Amino acid sequence: MTRTPRRRGRPPSVSRETIARAVIDVGFPNLTFAAVRRRLGVGESTLFRHAPDRDELIRITLDHVIEQTRWPSLDAPWREVLRAYALTLWHAWAAYPGAATAAVPGNLPLAAMRLVDDLCAMLMRQGFTAENAVLACDIVFDLVNDNRRGVEHLDTVVRDAGPDRGHLHELWTHTPPPEPAEHAATPAERSQIHAAMRAAITAAPINWFADKLAVVLDGIDCTLAPGPRPRGPDGGRRPGVSEDHAAGAGRCADRTGQAGI
């Protein structure tokens, strides 16, 4: 009678944390269900009980990344808090190449939702309406995710994501100028524009992001933050500006010379 060999040792323990670490080891750009299963040393059915598909693997890992990130204090003026959270999330995604591309809305984990809840509550306590608080957070985090995805694509972290930095540089350097047309950029203007674009592409990505973030925060300060309402020539609320979204727009007058612009 032939005996079936007994498996030696205990089977590998599988938890959300071990799954997240396995995904990080495999890397988001190379992430497959089979690769994570092999990394864990478990069978398909074992992993399936914890994560039925690739999207759930992503959610588990993003949840882990957010929970392990050291977030700034919420006890500060709203602009400082939003800026600090945006930069922290940017660096968190940068630490795990491919994470921003994986963080599409359908893959956002519970930890991200709770993070937004806390930020929105902070804004409301400083005078934002609930609607404006949600809009402000959505704008800022969209900027973070979009910028990090762009960096990942330009750095070819994600395969088949489009032209990289070198390709764009070649286009700007060697593409012949277009035929003259009314209102088109002049050669001198085009040269200045392309130089600025090259500087943006070749600069440290965090610097270009910080510049964008400053513009966005100025916009939130002018249109969503609590403050004087913009008024039209007749003293009434300015046409085209909702009462909720107009808060603070009067402060833009000092910057542009036209209130609410």
Name the least confident of 73-77, 85-89, 177-181, 255-259.
255-259
Q: pTM, whole model, 2 decimals?
A: 0.79
pLDDT range class, residue 237, cuts 50, 70, 90: very low
> What is the C-alpha separation between 175 and 169, in angstroms, rounded?
10
What pLDDT shows up at residue 129? 98
CB of 43 closer than 8 Å to CB of 5: no
pLDDT above 90: percentage of residues in the chain: 60
Name every residue whose Cβ is closer than 8 Å to that of residue 9 and which is 6 or more positions away in sequence: none
> What is the C-alpha separation between 153 and 156, in angstroms, rounded?
5
pLDDT above 70: percentage of residues in the chain: 74
CB of 84 closer than 8 Å to CB of 90: no
Of 87, 10, 2, the C-alpha closest to 42 is 10
The identity of residue 99, as a single letter, is A
CB of 119 closer than 8 Å to CB of 73: no
What pLDDT shows up at residue 242? 45
Q: DSSP letters along 149-211, please?
A: HHHHHHTT-STT-S--HHHHHHHHHHSPPPPP-TTPPPHHHHHHHHHHHHHHHHS-HHHHHHH
What pLDDT shows up at residue 261? 37
What pLDDT shows up at residue 164? 52
Name the least confident of 45-54, 174-183, 214-223.
174-183
Q: Is 73 exposed, middle or buried (0-12, 13-18, 19+ CB in 10 A)?
A: exposed
Residue, of 141 and 256, whose pLDDT is higher:
141
> What is the C-alpha separation between 105 and 90, in angstroms, rounded?
16
CB of 78 closer than 8 Å to CB of 103: no
CA 58 to chain centre: 15
pLDDT range class, residue 197, cuts 50, 70, 90: confident
Q: What is the CATH number of domain 12-68?
A: 1.10.10.60
Residue, of 184 and 252, whose pLDDT is higher:
184
3-class DSSP assignment, residue 258? coil
3-class DSSP assignment, residue 77? coil
Pure H helices in the chain:
16-26, 33-40, 44-50, 54-68, 78-94, 99-102, 110-125, 130-154, 165-174, 187-202, 205-223, 253-256
Name the least confident of 13-17, 142-146, 214-218, 239-243.
239-243
Residue, of 146 and 176, whose pLDDT is higher:
146
Q: What is the pLDDT of residues 148-196, one digit of tens each?
A: 999 998 876 555 545 555 555 666 566 666 777 788 888 899 889 888 9
CA 176 to chain centre: 35
> What is the C-alpha separation between 121 and 124, in angstroms, rounded?
5
